[in-house]
Structures are given as structure tokens and as C-alpha cells.
Amino acid sequence: MENLKYTYNQVNEWIKIADQKALILGSFNMASFIYQLANLDKLKYISIYATIPLVLYILSIFLALFFWLRIIYPKLDNKYKKSKIYFQHIANAYEKDIDLGIDELQNLDEQEIKRDLASQIVINSIIAKKKYNDIQKFIWVFAFQLFLLVLLIVQNLF
């Protein structure tokens, strides 16, 4: 049981780290976007050479937002059985009868708890994998945005 608890905690730490990375990257992304908005009026003239990077930049903002939202709000299939240790399943099952919830949770045997804990480890691992895949995609989009931002700044200088 201790190894399951350890693994469960480790996977949850990876999810927390992914969320922290997403918040940091999202902040940089928004700062970049705000910088661009603040300097839009400084464009000397709108040429085709400035319009294309600007349009690509705006589209990349929306693409980055899409990946950011997928990191913050991961989607998981509802095909998994209800767990006795997942807070939302507990709340949904017992919010109208708290005493029933207390009684049922106190009467869980160790095998049920182990099975639910193992199930949560697998489900949380799937969530962590999805989050880290989307973080990588977000980073590529953000790098492309920074390239476009530099391109727009350089174009504005000349």
C-alpha cells in the first residue's frame, strides 16, 4: 500500500509541475501579446511583409491559448468507473447524504482502496502525459510567436 501512495503522490506532483509550467508559459505568452498590442500603433506602414507575420502572430496566439486551455483543463474519457477516493466522485455520490458517505468510506476494505488508488495512478498518469504533450506543443507555438515578434520589431526599425 505504501508504494501505491508514493506513486500516487509522485504522479500528482508531476501534474502540479505541469500546471505551474503552463501558468508561467501562459504569463509569458500574454506579456508578449500585450507588448505587441501596445506597439501596434508604432508600425510605420502596413505592408504585405508586415501583414503576414502579424496575421501569423495573431493566429499563433489563439493556437497557444488552445494548448494552454488543454493543459489547464485536461479532458478525460468518462469510461472509468467511479472512484471512492476521487473528490468529485465522493462529493457527487454523497453530497445529499453525508452520513451515508462517512459510513461507506469507513467500511472500505484495503483491497478496494488499493484498486481505487491504482486506478487513480493510471488515470492521473494519462492526464500528466496529455499535459506534458500539450506543454511541448505550446512551447513550439510560443517559440514561433517570439520569432514573429522579433521579425515584426525588426521590420518596424527599417
What is the per-residue pLDDT across 71-115, written as a single tens digit (0 to 9) for each? Answer: 888 777 666 677 777 777 777 777 887 887 777 777 878 888 888
d(CA 64, CA 116): 35
Asked if residues 149 and 53 have their Cβ atoms less than 8 Å apart, the reply is no
Average pLDDT value for the chain? 81
Q: pLDDT tens digits, residue range 125-150?
A: 988 999 999 999 999 998 998 898 88
pLDDT, residue 97, reads: 79
Note the pLDDT of residue 138: 92
The model's confidence at residue 158, banded by pLDDT at 50, 70 and 90, is low
Mean pLDDT along residues 61-73 = 89
| pTM over cut 0.95 | no
> Mean per-residue pLDDT for 50-66?
85
The pLDDT value recorded for residue 46 is 63
Count: domains in the chain:
1
Q: Is the pLDDT of residue 9 over 70?
A: yes
Looking at residue 141, its pLDDT comes to 93
- For residue 98, give its domain range: 2-157
User: What pLDDT is recorded for position 5?
Assistant: 81
**Cα–Cα distance measured from residue 8 to residue 12, given in angstroms and rounded to the nearest whole number:** 6
**Alpha carbon of 152 to those of 9, 40, 54, 66, 106: distances in Å?**
45, 10, 7, 23, 62
